[in-house]
Amino acid sequence: MRKCSLESIDRVFAAINADASLYLPVDGDDGKAVYTKWEDGVKWSGALNTVRSPKSFFFPQMEDLVQFRTEGKTIEVIDPRKESEDFVVFGVRACDAKSFEVLDRVFLVDPVDSYYASRREHGVIVTVACTRPVETCFCKTFGIDPAEPAGDVSVWKTDSELFWQSNTEKGEKLLEKLADLTEECTDEAVAAQKEKINSVMSRLPLADLKADAFGAGKTMKFFDAPEWDELSESCIACGTCTYVCPTCQCYDIKDFNTGNGVIRFRCWDSCMYSEFTKMSAGQPRLTQKERFRQRFMHKLVYYPEKNGGLFSCVGCGRCLSRCPISMNIVKVMKTIGGKADE
Amino acid sequence: MQVKEYKPLIVAFCCNWCSYAGADLAGNNRLSYPADVKIIRVPCSCRVNPMFVLRAFQRGADGVIICGCHPGDCHYTSGNYYTRRRMALLFSMLDYLGIERDRTRLEWVSAAEGAKFAATMNDFVEKVTALGENKRLEDLRCKK
Amino acid sequence: MQRIGVFVCWCGSNIAATVDVKAVAEALKSEPGVVYSADYQYMCSQAGQDLIKEAVKEHNLTGIVVCSCSPRMHEATFRKTAAAAGLNPYMVEIANIREQCSWVHKDIPSGTEKAIILGKAAVAKVNLNTPLTPGESPVTKRALVIGGGIAGIQTALDIADAGFPVDIVEKNPTIGGKMAQLDKTFPTLDCAACILTPKMVDVAQNDKIRIFSYSEVSEIKGFVGNFDVTIRKKARYVKEDVCTGCGLCVEKCPQKKIPNEFNLGMDNRSAIYIPFAQAVPKVATIDAEACTMLKKGKCGLCSKVCTAGAIDYKQQDELISEKYGAIVVATGFNPISMEKFDEYAYSQSKDVITSLEFERLTNAAGPTAGKLLRPSDLKHPHTIVFVQCVGSRCASCAEKGKEYCSKICCMYTAKHAMLTRDKYPDTDVYVFYIDVRTPGKNFDEFYRRAVEEYGVHYIKGMVGKVTPEGDKLKVRASDLLNNKQLNIDADLVVLAAAIEPDKSARPLATMLTASMDTNDFFTEAHPKLRPVESPTAGVFLSGACQGPKDIPETVSQAGAAASKVIGLLAKDKLTGNPCVASSDELMCNGCSSCERVCPYGAISYIDKEFRMPDRTVAIRRVASVNPAVCQGCGACTVACPSGAMDLRGFASGQIMAEVDAICK
Amino acid sequence: MQKITRDQLIEKAASLLGNGTVSCVLGWEKGEFDYDVTPALFETESELREKFVFGDFCGANLSKYLVSKTRKCEGRILVFLKPCDTYSFNQLLTEHRFDREKAYVVGIPCEGMADIERVKELCGDGISSVTADGDELVVTTLYDDEPVRVKAESVLAERCVNCKSKKHVAYDELIGEDGEVLSSARFDEVARLEAMTPDERFAFWQNELSKCIRCNACRNVCPACTCERCVFDNPSSGVENKAAANSFEEKMFHIIRAFHVAGRCTDCGECSRVCPQNIPLHLLNRKFIKDIDDFYGEYQAGAEVGSRAPLVNYTFDDLEPGEVFERGGQDA
């Protein structure tokens, strides 16, 4: 474990940025943190987390897959990919760090999504342990420890210092680069910090939320629960929850006619949309209730079923604070989970 | 190396009954205006959807002009009055977003006003040329 | 995928001198969908057209692009060519490379480049063209005329003359309208009744014409050639077919204190009445508001005296449904209310009257049997002041009067002044005016005679105030030409009240979906070229409902409207323009935006049952365009937020394809 | 602090349910915290007593739900509408989006709704409770032992700070007193932008709109956006897209969205309330409203049922687009 003083942070950032683009949460003009490219003078946000999740570093909202250029009646096929540059994402929280595991299990299994894989390869994730969780946090529900964030490098912040620990080879390399700016240290301060965090975690209003009722094999138990009607009643079918969610990974592939050819691109899609996965024969889920149910069943039942019990919710709480009508996974879990046990 | 002279791309929507006929009259009288102007015939100026205007900018137009019958002379009696409101609001909104005002215009040209048609186009092309390439409402994917 | 043929015309040297036609043909050959491309000296010539026809057959073309002169010139020609070759005529698009290219651009490279782009746009459009077929609808060979004044009468007579049946709906108990109330008519001074009443009789006797008097139109559905109209025949409590019009009931009726509308309330009539001697139909009508029998169930005198047994106190309003092919609006006008013009003391003195009241006072059948007497004391007036433009041309006082010129006042005032001086030379007559407007055949001569031969005092200036004092009316006025104030002690003041459309016009316009201007005058389809047609197909305008008019103008417009109706009714079928709007019901919200911008009333709404995506069934309101009425302007397509409304022949997709082609 | 209480509304709803006037109630349901209120349909009195809530966080405009709920419910629906919501209600009726007879409107007064983001700004993160006390909110957080008291008016949502009307323009019955149409400063921010140079305006909007994640929350919550199928979802519309590829598409979406509701937008402010990226979308809608007022005379969408929206109306002497620019402001 290594440490550096908080005052030296800008020098550390500069060192990281020297040969890989550094992105970190920075307060925007509306006071909300957003991942921004670091440059001299850019200040690391003190906010707990960003409005948008860091998944877009690896799975951007929109990316070109292939391009067809037409000239008269001939077509030329172009691969628009440029070799991805190395980059470092700093300040990722434990919940979001876990989300990469969820995404990896989708994009890195056969057939490997080479667009995603290439970005994962070039990206280094530096996580930072939480210090001030808020009422919407419930990562513990999914077994995530905010005091022990994953990632290539884990960082703990105290009042005056930052403690660095590498977890992977990539992380090791990064810390080597910072050798001059950091010094070797014991993990006592970190242990104290962890304890502090855990005591806060136990006071959170959602501390007792359990996901035990859900998981693999529960499809039949929940699918026909009558509560879905009521829960989905107020859903306005927007994609906010999906788009702020760090683990939602659905996309659509579309063609854009440029006038001189076609750009085939993919962009995020949301299972909450009525046009989602619409095919020539229509869409598989016709009502908002079905679409609503799909999203939560996927996170809590279908995904775990296929991925060794791993839930595809990380309890980051973004959807809790962002849903226009305040309907969210916690309300679903409490309603469905509770009722189904009776 | 010689710098290639900048030629703007102008899309002109002309109503069939007045302005398109006005453009024809400009032709009959051999009143020249730059070839940068390309006319699309619509039955009435009120057929022009703001989406068409944005589409033209997206696809690379540097200026969009809509021409219709003079107020009171609409072949369909009231179409141009709706156009006038729609475009006043649309153009004002584009201006509000910081898009240059001289890239959009609504002009009334009657079937008898060949000279006005040519003069309007000359003036519009000049103004758009002065602004240069449309950068603020461009879609890079559509660039060659 | 279309198979498109491109035909580039040289137009001799008209195009070929500035556009490299071969290069255009060559360039367009590689456009998507194009399978054939050719150039020719004169595409519109027989040989050129044959070239097209042969290419259609040989290459199995499904669409044609002709790069030539303006579509306004030869679109119709090439559509016919296509049709002759077995193609749908609407699969043809023209790229205008003459008027909008070769003739306005000077150098060949830029002209050629532009011609290619225009050609590409046309190709892009044809790629999305679909065959269109004009709709056909039958024509009901019967016309409805709403309003039985001189306008309606003339229109009905002319239509009937051509052999088509006509119905007149008149809200009053008799036809005749305003003209029946007039005394003499300018500029010839023939008596109104002498020229009007024979026409009224003609109407009554014409077996092609039915009169629904004391009736109103209560509902109109349908469209040009196929209107379904419901007429409410109000109960008049007298059997029309039995009443002989003998007038005995009118004489015997004990209730005689009802203000007589025909004489503008200047005398009284009985509760059962015939408006005037020459009324058509000459049938009595019971005023339900005034009749003691109907109100209290006591009296019944008229029934007792009627030898024909025509009285029927139990009569109910009757609803008559009829189909019409054309509707003529002839709802006429009324003088505006004088209540906002109290500076002229209209409400304070009986001797301040409107010009129409003056007409009745000078009419032999009027309340004074034609003697010009003051209403207050029935004395002969010696000083009469006529005030022009009362409520007309009120540019700055629009809340009081009208901004427009009422057009007829100058002339009838000259008439009144002249007739007064003629009959009563001892009378001093003053006319206060802003301008005297006399455009019309023999009009100015007429006015000059009033001034020069009859010594009427015309004074340019406005009357500021009229104050009743004793048996005089103190008139304070300004003489602008002499720049002085005038004080005149008048015996009678006559106000040339502005005229406005009849109050029934607005609700009627709503039923007809015919457009009106802000003054409630009906709007014509084109102010110059289609002055007697409403923009709503099948609806025609006759008389003052369209704008202020005198009798000669009214009659000529009535005849013009009739000829338009005859032209329509002479057709067995109406062929529509296939380039009309249509709504995709699945996307339509039923919000009514399209209906509100449609100048033709072509859009109506139906409640339709839909299987919703979520498997439920919902009844939704959706727009439906009547292709027989739609003229294809496209206003609705932009008003529609969901994009459900599109225009055939100029579909959004087609226009955007043209935009794309031009910009690429 | 709202002048009416949850209990008053429950009593009203219970009695209307009880006497059969309505078959269900559209209201607000309490959430996990004190502020995450969800619109909900209640069918029984016991449901109401258990879950119904009314307070400073009931900002959601319920009128749009009537479009789908009236299709679904058999009987009449009781809907609680705040003054600004009634404008949306009328506008929906003007556009025939549901049957008036199927809704029973209980107008409720509104003292302005709180914005939880503003509460967090003033009181810090980790809100554990927010309760109203007089004209103050008492806020406790996970990190402060002492509750923080803030003036309710200091945490009002922007749209409530600039409230345009406390008058109900539609209701079957009212609870409490009706207010007046207010003169607000709602156009000040638009005017401030108009006064900027075009470069500044461009930079401002470029920055704001680049935040857009195209989640469609603004569209889907908007009571004026009730199309059966939106042009942005329709591949044949020519503008369909799911994500903004670049700054053009960002602008395109927001221009068309605002244009489609121009003259129909009642300025209820829901779009800005729900935007997860805090884009001031109402400034686009208000620009249209301000222009319409300036060019064609004041028009408040939804003030009257059946009124003719400015874009489906005209006068002979409307301003020309060129004259609009002559009126001032700076050009690029």
**Structural domain harbouring C611:** 581-648
Taking CA–CA distances from C35, the nearest residue in chain A reads A73
Q: Check C596 against D72: CB less than 8 A apart.
A: no
Number of H helices, E strands in chain B: 4, 4
Q: Check C650 against B42: CB less than 8 A apart.
A: yes
> Closest Cα of chain B to A34: distance in Å?
24
pLDDT in tens, C573-592: 998 889 999 999 999 999 99
Measure CB to CB from residue D308 to each of C596, C605, C656 and give the nearest one: C596
Distance between first and last Cα of chain B: 21
To the nearest whole number, what is the mean pLDDT of chain D? 93
pLDDT of residue C609: 93
A208–chain D Cβ distance below 8 A for any pair: no
The label of the residue with tokens 């104290």 reads A192
For residue D65, list chain A residues with Cβ-Cβ distance below 8 A: 234
> Closest Cα of chain C to B8: distance in Å?
11
| B10-138: CATH, from 2.20.100, 2.60.120, 2.60.40, 3.40.50 | 3.40.50
**What's the gap between Cα A219 and its chain centre?**
25
Interface test with D, best of B45, B96, B120, B123 (most D CBs within 10 A): B96
For residue D248, list chain B residues with Cβ-Cβ distance below 8 A: 57-58, 137-139
The residues in C 481-540 lying below 8 A from D, measured between CB atoms, are 518
Together in a domain, C195 and C87: no
A57–chain D Cβ distance below 8 A for any pair: no
A20–chain D Cβ distance below 8 A for any pair: no
pLDDT of residue C345: 94
Looking at chain C, which subunits does it touch, using at least 3 CB pairs closer than 8 Å as the criterion?
A, B, D
Confidence of residue D236 (pLDDT cuts 50, 70, 90): confident
pLDDT of residue D170: 96
Residue C637 to residue C649: CA distance in whole angstroms: 13
- Residue of D50, D59, D33, D61 lying closest to D131 (CA atoms): D33
Together in a domain, C43 and C148: no
Q: Check A73 against C32: CB less than 8 A apart.
A: yes
Residue C481 to residue C432: CA distance in whole angstroms: 12
> Closest Cα of chain C to A117: distance in Å?
35
pLDDT in tens, C46-84: 999 999 999 999 999 999 999 999 999 999 999 999 999
Together in a domain, C203 and C337: no
3-class DSSP assignment, residue B28: helix
For residue B141, list chain A residues with Cβ-Cβ distance below 8 A: 256, 258, 263
pLDDT of residue B5: 83
Measure CB to CB from residue C642 to each of D96, D231, D313 and give the nearest one: D231
Taking CA–CA distances from A291, the nearest residue in chain C reads C614
Top pLDDT among A257 and C151 is at C151
Together in a domain, C283 and C156: yes
Q: Do residues A86 and A144 lie in contact, with contact meaning Cβ atoms separated by under 8 Å?
A: no
Q: Could you tell me the pTM of the whole model? A: 0.83
Q: In this structure, how many other beta carbons lie within 10 angstroms of the beta carbon of residue C424? A: 15
A92-109 mean pLDDT:
97
Half-sphere exposure of A81 (CA within 13 A, CB side): 12
Confidence of residue C252 (pLDDT cuts 50, 70, 90): very high
Measure CB to CB from residue C586 to each of D226, D228, D308 and give the nearest one: D228
For residue A243, list chain D residues with Cβ-Cβ distance below 8 A: 213-215, 276
Interface test with B, best of D324, D327, D331 (most B CBs within 10 A): D324
D43–chain A Cβ distance below 8 A for any pair: no
Top pLDDT among C474 and C513 is at C474
C395–chain D Cβ distance below 8 A for any pair: no
Domain count, chain C: 4
Together in a domain, C292 and C340: no
The rounded percent of chain D whose pLDDT value lies above 90 is 86
Query: Bridge-partner residues for C645, per DSSP?
Result: C583
Q: Check D228 against C589: CB less than 8 A apart.
A: yes
The residues in C 51-110 lying below 8 A from B, measured between CB atoms, are 70-73, 96, 98-101, 103-106, 110
D291-313 mean pLDDT:
95
C208, pLDDT greater than 60: yes
Together in a domain, C296 and C390: no
Q: Check D313 against C596: CB less than 8 A apart.
A: yes
Confidence of residue A341 (pLDDT cuts 50, 70, 90): very low
Interface B:D, Cβ pairs < 8 A? 128
A342, pLDDT greater than 70: no
Q: Check D322 against B106: CB less than 8 A apart.
A: yes
Together in a domain, C112 and C149: no
B138–chain D Cβ distance below 8 A for any pair: yes
Residue C655 lies in a domain: no
D307-331 mean pLDDT:
84
pLDDT of residue A171: 96
Confidence of residue D327 (pLDDT cuts 50, 70, 90): low
Q: Check B144 against A256: CB less than 8 A apart.
A: no
For residue B142, list chain A residues with Cβ-Cβ distance below 8 A: 258-260
Residue D232 to residue D212: CA distance in whole angstroms: 15
pLDDT in tens, B30-59: 999 999 999 999 999 999 999 999 999 999
pLDDT of residue D332: 47
Residues sharing a CB contact under 8 Å with residue A6, sequence separation 6 or more, in sequence order: A157, A159, A160, A161, A162
B81-107 mean pLDDT:
96
To the nearest whole number, what is the mean pLDDT of chain A? 93
Residue A155 to residue A171: CA distance in whole angstroms: 11
| Bond preceding residue C131 cis, omega within 30 of 0 | no
Together in a domain, C345 and C435: yes
Q: Check B41 against C118: CB less than 8 A apart.
A: no
Confidence of residue B2 (pLDDT cuts 50, 70, 90): low
pLDDT in tens, D94-144: 999 999 999 999 999 999 999 999 999 999 889 999 999 989 999 999 988
Taking CA–CA distances from B36, the nearest residue in chain C reads C114
Give, for A264, the enclosing helix (H) or strand (E): strand A261-268
pLDDT in tens, C390-437: 999 987 776 789 999 999 999 999 999 999 999 999 999 999 999 999
Residue A192 to residue C570: CA distance in whole angstroms: 100
DSSP D122-147: HH-S-EEEEEEETTEEEEEESS-SSP
C630-658 mean pLDDT:
96
Together in a domain, C370 and C478: yes
pLDDT of residue D329: 54
**What long-range pairs does A23-31 form, CB within 8 A, spacing at least 24?**
A23/A57, A23/A87, A23/A88, A23/A89, A23/A90, A24/A89, A24/A90, A24/A91, A25/A49, A25/A50, A25/A91, A28/D211, A29/D207, A30/D278, A31/D121
Q: Where are the domains of chain B?
A: 10-138
Residue C318 to residue C486: CA distance in whole angstroms: 58
Confidence of residue A246 (pLDDT cuts 50, 70, 90): very high
Measure CB to CB from residue A256 to each of B60, B141, B144 and give the nearest one: B141
Looking at chain A, which subunits does it touch, using at least 3 CB pairs closer than 8 Å as the criterion?
B, C, D
Measure CB to CB from residue D248 to each of B93, B94, B139 and give the nearest one: B139
ipTM: 0.94
Q: Where are the domains of chain D?
A: 6-114+163-174, 117-152, 188-326
Together in a domain, C191 and C224: yes
> Closest Cα of chain C to D93: distance in Å?
9
Confidence of residue D238 (pLDDT cuts 50, 70, 90): confident
- The CATH number of whichever domain residue C78 belongs to comes to 3.40.50
Q: In this structure, how many other beta carbons lie within 10 angstroms of the beta carbon of residue A182? A: 20
A70, pLDDT greater than 60: yes
Q: In this structure, how many other beta carbons lie within 10 angstroms of the beta carbon of residue A108? A: 12
Looking at chain D, which subunits does it touch, using at least 3 CB pairs closer than 8 Å as the criterion?
A, B, C
For residue A260, list chain C residues with Cβ-Cβ distance below 8 A: 664
B88-107 mean pLDDT:
96
Interface test with A, best of C614, C656, C663 (most A CBs within 10 A): C614
